[in-house]
Structure 1
């Protein structure tokens, strides 16, 4: 009879994945204490945190996060631990991951701002030519600046920011969809900021500069702030900028938005990942709350707007979720920050 072949020892990280999936809290604690790497990917592209999250083992998720497990790592199919917890309807685990992710992003934002070089903030997008067609605007890299499928969303945004009538500000003209919708509400004054020279030229050619109640301000919003007043409704939708730029714009809201006014923005942050999108919804809401604003998110189904043919010729699908959460922001009634 042949002697049994010795099996190679199982690596601590493999054991960590197995015990995380199985809910063995004691084993996970022991392995982490012994130095097992919580950021390890197994042969299937799964981390211990992903295994624990997919089974709803909240206590183990907390242990792994405290040990430095990356909450934002992806499987080969593009899912993070939060996505896996959401798929399994493990709400307690989702809430834990969400809270951790928001706090991590708040810290990261602070670090980013401290290291940011403001000497060259203008996006290269403004120096590039853009191509116009009936249903989209494209940049030189075949990325969509704006597409016509957004029309129902823009109409909903316009309805929100025109609730109080009066003076309305839109930052970023694009295809003009939201501005056409705003015009139907006949605001007293409609100010539009547009920074791209091609888009600006097309606005003028289309007659926007001749509308009696429309004021066009050409330039980056950062540069034209001194030309602005106060408004009853504000919409923000720029292309070629980062979240930090929108965060910077929010710092000016207490002076730009009149008491009782409505602010909204195109909520395209992480529009290709459900969990990341929720993280940024909460992050923006929290940061606006610190400025004295409350935010509600109105769910709008968009699945029927997104056909496969829609993305033909587009390098990157900037939206892949079935629901769009439209933000409606107002100053808290007890806030003393507004004018």
Structure 2
């Protein structure tokens, strides 16, 4: 299995043809395999700009949000090397994954099954990532185009915006570019909330920060159009 995984990494790195790639995968090569450098086949393909390989690996279930020992994802590698087509393919995969995860999370929340472990967990901020204590990515900087697209969508409906989950502040920074009349942010993680205040978000004239789980702070909310509400509460893995 490890040998097949290594072969898949090499095939991804070289931009092998689809038949060779699919043959390795069908033979049992693990698409989530980490080689001796801590890189997956998807990371190799992204790093070298082989968009067709990226697509095949994603279709086979390769984890788009896996991290290297340097805390870089496939999206980071594609973005740093300027491989736009590979990056766009990964970004679209991220959008689809978040839509699915968001639907699942909303269903669980309605059933009262919200997992509160994350709220009790320590988080680690770096320049381009927000990580939990298990070194799993909560948000990564390469998602910025996705967050900007979200911001554009919610801000087109009016001047009163509600975002649930601040994270690194990517989407809220994008929302501020549209100068909404009122920008309400709900954040439940104490360390993220503290960092928001420390970095001046509480001093912005059009920003209202509410600390707590959105289910618990409903009485503090105003009325919002459905298109002006954004959920950003899902961890990446």
Superposed, 1:299-318 pairs within 5 Å as none
Superposed, 1:186-225 pairs within 5 Å as 194-195=210-211, 222-223=215-216, 225=218
Aligned mates of 1:256, 1:64 — CA distance in 2 = 34
Superposed, 1:79-98 pairs within 5 Å as 79-98=72-91
Query: Is it true that 1:27 corresponds to 2:20 in the alignment?
Result: yes
Using structure 2 for the length normalisation, give the TM-score.
Answer: 0.56
Q: Is the 8 A contact 1:12 1:31 kept in 2?
A: yes
Indicate which of 141, 153, 160 corresponds to 2:179.
160
Larger radius of gyration: 1
Aligned to 1:289: none
Cα RMSD over matched residues? Answer: 4.4
Aligned to 1:67: 60
Query: Is it true that 1:43 corresponds to 2:36 in the alignment?
Result: yes
State the Cα distance separating 1:34 from its structure 2 match: 1.6
Using structure 1 for the length normalisation, give the TM-score.
Answer: 0.41
Aligned to 2:112: 118
Superposed, 1:316-331 pairs within 5 Å as none
State the Cα distance separating 1:118 from its structure 2 match: 2.6
Structure (1 or 2) with the greater strand fraction = 1
Find runs of 4+ consecutive structure 1 residues off by over 3 angstroms. Answer: 119-126, 156-159, 168-181, 192-196, 220-230, 267-270
Distance 1:179 1:17, change over 3 A: closer
- 2:88 aligned counterpart, secondary structure: helix
State the Cα distance separating 1:27 from its structure 2 match: 2.3
Aligned mates of 1:256, 1:101 — CA distance in 2 = 21
State the Cα distance separating 1:88 from its structure 2 match: 1.2
Structure 1: give runs of 5+ residues left out of the alignment. Answer: 1-9, 127-149, 163-167, 197-219, 231-252, 258-262, 271-275, 277-339
Structure 2: give runs of 5+ residues left out of the alignment. Answer: 121-168, 187-192
Distance 1:22 1:113, change over 3 A: same
State the Cα distance separating 1:12 from its structure 2 match: 1.6
Q: Is the 8 A contact 1:62 1:96 kept in 2?
A: yes
- 2:225 aligned counterpart, secondary structure: helix
Q: Is the 8 A contact 1:158 1:178 kept in 2?
A: no
State the Cα distance separating 1:114 from its structure 2 match: 2.5
Give the number of aligned pairs. 174
Aligned to 2:51: 58
Aligned mates of 2:63, 2:176 — CA distance in 1 = 35
State the Cα distance separating 1:227 from its structure 2 match: 6.3
Structure (1 or 2) with the greater helix fraction = 2
